[in-house]
Amino acid sequence: MRLPDAGLDFCVGRRSASDPTTPGDDGFILIPVLAALFLLALGAVLLAKSVALDIRLTAISERRAVGEELANGLTRLVLHHLTVNAPVSGKSGQFRLDGIPQHCRVGSLLVSIQIVDVDGQININYSTLGLLQAAVRGVGLADSEAQLMAENIVDFRSPGDFSISGGSKSSRYQSAGLYHGPKNEPFGSVAELDQVAGMTPALLQRLKLITTVHSRFGTVNPAVASLPVLQALAGAEAGSLERSTPEELDDLRAKVVIPTEYTYITRTRSVRTTVSNTYQVTVAVYLQSNVRFGRQAVVDLSGGTGTGPEVRQWIEVEPPASVSQAEVQPCIGGLLLLNKP
């Protein structure tokens, strides 16, 4: 008996002539389905990676918040340490006041603490053109560039529109393509150097290590000057403050010859003394996964209003990428002395 055509079509998998679809349609239907599945899988992978990244960023943010709070607390303790351990002969307790960092630990976290007497830094408001030129040249600029930059710094802080080198100060800023002019009054902070015509980020970072607006003189006390200041003014070869020992720094201080016109009052040049009684404190906390936080404060121990110590500055700073991992003492109860001796 002959089977019906429909049955035969079913057995051999052929379509009848009345089937409106063409033989290739199944393949075309499958391609969009596979594409949709691929996109879904890709979306799932990207979502998983995004969630993992968010978790990692959240963890880093939390660690950084811990570092910030710890740095803030330690900075306040260092300020208290200075009030109960009056600086004498360039020291306060175990701290030197010339920028040599001290390392300590809080639990498993490494901390670096640095104190600088601002009398050993270069005041950008009071310094002469010659001292500013020597400072800028000392951090890497050629003579002609250093002279121009020093003139720009003096112009920025001085009243009026007449430049120290002649001509209009505002015209110089316009020629440089800047939308602002000079401040025409003293610097409020070292950070304002970034507004000076011709200043670059790299030069600003180097100048931040040696300058201040908090001392009371336009000269430098070499007895408490930090290594970067000594190098800049004496033309010493570049070195790393983190690698320098106190003995090496004292040896360099004994050897360098800084022009008399740049240095402190003659009667105090060989004495570790201070007149401003103002100190810059930098605290850096190092956490896991290369997370770190730096806090910098400036305190006037004599107090500008006669009411006791005055905090003049409280800013975040970028600490060095790494410090010595040698065995160190605890910060609290070890390095920091918080009770009067």
State which H helix or E strand residue 77 sits in.
Answer: helix 25-84
The 3-state DSSP class for residue 331 equals coil
What is the model's pLDDT at position 150? 95
3-state SS assignment for residue 43: helix
- pLDDT higher than threshold 80 for residue 137: yes
What's the angle, vertex CA 240, arms to CA 234 and CA 244, rounded to 5? 90
Half-sphere exposure of 291 (CA within 13 A, CB side): 18
pLDDT tens-digit readout, 31-73: 776 666 666 766 666 666 665 555 554 555 777 788 888 899 9
Element (H, E) at 204: helix 201-208
Count the Cβ atoms, other than its own, within 10 Å of residue 72.
17
Domain boundaries in the chain? 54-80+91-121+215-341, 124-209
User: Residues 211-261: pLDDT tens digits?
Assistant: 999 998 888 888 888 888 888 887 755 444 445 677 777 777 777 777 777
What are the tokens at 162? Answer: 């007449």
pLDDT (0 to 100) of residue 291: 79
pLDDT at 10: 36
Structure tokens at 235: 């033309």
Crossing angle for the helix pair 129-138 and 201-208, nearest 10 degrees? 110
The predicted structure's pLDDT at residue 37: 67
Instruction: Pick one of 3.30.830.10, 1.10.40.60, 3.30.1360.120, 1.10.10.10 as the CATH number of 124-209.
Output: 1.10.40.60
**Which DSSP category does 236 fall into?**
P
pTM: 0.77
